[in-house]
Amino acid sequence: MFDYLLFLLVLIPFLALAGWASARVNRVYARYDRVQTLSCMTGYDTATRLMRRHGVTDIAVNRVEGRLTDHYNPGKRLVNLSMSTYGSASVAAVAVAAHEVGHVMQSRTGYVPYKIRTALVPVANVGSRLALPLVLVGLLLDIFWTTAPLPYGQWAVYLGIALYGLSTLFMLVTLPVEFNASRRAKKMLIEENILTEEELPGASKVLSAAALTYVASMLVSLLYFLRFALVFASLVKRN
């Protein structure tokens, strides 16, 4: 019980950081969404122009519901821009659209962290959904099935920890992928005269705020994984 309370005390600041990062990205985006670009190019215009400039002609730009729901779907060959990005000619919208094109260029140039993250997506999706339930079920089985012929509970715990570990690895790999996409975005925006040097700091703030949300999520995930690793160590030691 003391160990769990200590874990909660450590977890609370990380959860607070994640909440603050989420609020910050919305606040920064809203601020620079009110600043119109001198080029008057929208998010759609930006994504289309940058891809055509780099010889990408087989990927479409699509509009999706929501705000800040922008993402690149390599399986469907779509750059999905949110309602707040697609038709807006703001500094914030242009920065986000260019960031998604940065992911397209990572895929085209064979950027290694991007390839690793893409390979981990199926396992990470399964791990994020099943890891915690498996660990909890495993612990319950280990408590109540003490007379079972096989250690079903421990196997469930080990499987859950392994899945969660893969999800944590996915989040770790995501960090260099996101930072690199932002660097590519800023470079392309200047090279194509979509943003001026004076407008670029605003775009940088939007991208940095978005990157911070990934850092906060990774820290929370890592903390949970360390907690599960201690559970694993205690089971091994007991055996």
137-150 residue pLDDT tens: 555 555 555 544 45
Q: What is the mean pLDDT of the chain?
A: 85
Active site residues: 100
Q: Is the pLDDT of residue 77 over 70?
A: yes
Please check whether residue 239 lies inside any domain of the structure. Answer: no
* DSSP per position, the chain: -HHHHHHHHHHHHHHHHHHHHHHHHHHHHHHHTTSB-TT---HHHHHHHHHHHTT--S-EEEEESSSS--EEETTTTEEEEEHHHHT--BHHHHHHHHHHHHHHHHHHHT-HHHHHHHHHHHHHHHHHHHHHHHHHHHHHHHHH-TT-SS-HHHHHHHHHHHHHHHHHHHHHHHHHHHHHHHHHHHHHHHHTTSS-TTTHHHHHHHHHHHHHHHHHHHHHHHHHHHHHHHHHHHHHHH-
Q: Which residue has the tokens 């998010």?
A: 43
Please check whether residue 236 lies inside any domain of the structure. Answer: no
What digits encode the pLDDT tens for the residues 224-236? Answer: 788 777 766 766 6
How many distinct structural domains can be found in the chain? Answer: 1
Please check whether residue 12 lies inside any domain of the structure. Answer: yes
pLDDT level of residue 163 (50, 70, 90 thresholds): confident
Please check whether residue 81 lies inside any domain of the structure. Answer: yes
Q: Which of 66, 76, 82, 67 is nearest to 104 (CA)?
A: 76
Q: Give the predicted TM-score (pTM) of the model.
A: 0.83
Please check whether residue 110 lies inside any domain of the structure. Answer: yes
Residue numbers of the domain that contains 45: 2-231
What digits encode the pLDDT tens for the residues 86-121? Answer: 999 999 999 999 999 999 999 999 999 999 999 888
